[in-house]
Structure 1
Amino acid sequence: MDLIWWLLWIFWFTAYIYVVIVVITDLFRDENLSGWFKALWIIALVFVPFLTALIYVIARGKGMAERARERYAGVPEADDYRPSASVSPAEDIAKAKALLDAGTITQGEFDALKSKALGNQYFGA
């Protein structure tokens, strides 16, 4: 029975620490709140931690959600980072040549892209 209480205590303590970290990060992310009010919230978190975290989540929970939504609104989906599939090696080499002619890449980078497009493992092949 002691093990169950110990595990329950560890769970609640970990959840509380997570809430405190979320509250502190939200405090520093809020641009509308003055520095003095931020300091007061931090002092209250130090001296009356559980009650302060509970009051903060109740009083400012809607604003916390809005700030989190704004933060993640500009983050593209993971699918946007996938490179497009190659159509043909000739097209890849042509794109690399256009980059070389524009001065965007060096001759060595062009050679590496050409080698990769042709499927060679070594640059000199």
Structure 2
Amino acid sequence: MSNYPLLNLFLTMLWFFLWILWLMLLFRVIVDIFRDDDLSGWGKAGWLIFACILPFLGIFVYLIVRGPGMGEREARHARRQEQAFRAYIKDAAAESSETPTAPKPRAGVDDLEKLIGLRDHGDLTEEEFQQAKRKLLSV
């Protein structure tokens, strides 16, 4: 057989997964540094240099100092993306309503927005939402 005992295999896998975890933390911190509008260019450069020169210490210090705001920044970014998506959908629906073949598209868009709001608020389950959406789009 092999000269590699089971415990060594376990420890190798543990170190490998810890390395993957650290890489995920590193990329998450770098994305957060670039996404943060409150940091100046010098602040972003400083954190990046700190994270690159002293990687483990830099990431852990960043998580201690700026970690609590990471979730807020991520939520803010998700809200902005959702607003941009909804604006795009509204613009696309308004453009399609200008074609003479589309019967009352604005009413369908309003109804669909109401359904999305009910689903997001938790008043509709995903299955109920899909059924109502199918019924709305088939009319």
- Per the TM superposition, whether the score is higher than 0.5 is yes
Higher relative contact order at CA 8 Å, sep ≥6: structure 1 or structure 2?
1
2:109 corresponds in structure 1 to none
Instruction: Identify the match of residue 25 of structure 2 among 19, 27, 39.
Output: 19
* Residue 38, structure 1, aligned to residue 44, structure 2: yes
2:76 corresponds in structure 1 to 70
Output one character per residue of 1:92-114: Cα deviation in whole Å (capped at 9) or x when no partner: xxxx9x83358xxxxxxxxxxxx
Instruction: Identify the match of residue 67 of structure 2 among 61, 67, 85.
Output: 61
Q: Distance in 2 between matches of 1:53 and 1:39?
A: 14
Q: Percent identity?
A: 36
Q: Distance in 1 between matches of 2:76 and 2:48?
A: 23
Instruction: Identify the match of residue 55 of structure 2 among 33, 40, 49.
Output: 49
Kindly report the root-mean-square deviation, in angstroms, between the aligned alpha carbons of the 2 structures: 2.5
More helix by share: 2
* Residue 100, structure 1, aligned to residue 100, structure 2: yes
Amino acid of the structure 2 residue aligned with 1:99: T
Q: Distance in 1 between matches of 2:53 and 2:101?
A: 65
1:83 corresponds in structure 2 to none
* Superposition deviation, residue 11 in structure 1: 0.6
The structure number with the bigger radius of gyration is: 1
* Residue 8, structure 1, aligned to residue 1, structure 2: no
Unmatched runs of 5 consecutive residues or more in structure 1: 81-95, 103-116, 118-125
* Superposition deviation, residue 37 in structure 1: 1.2
**Closer, same or farther in 2 for the Cα pair 1:11/1:101, shift >3 Å?**
closer
SS in 1 for 2:100: helix
* Superposition deviation, residue 73 in structure 1: 2.2
1:29 corresponds in structure 2 to 35
Q: Distance in 1 between matches of 2:51 and 2:76?
A: 25
TM-score for the superposition, normalised by structure 2 = 0.54
TM-score for the superposition, normalised by structure 1 = 0.60
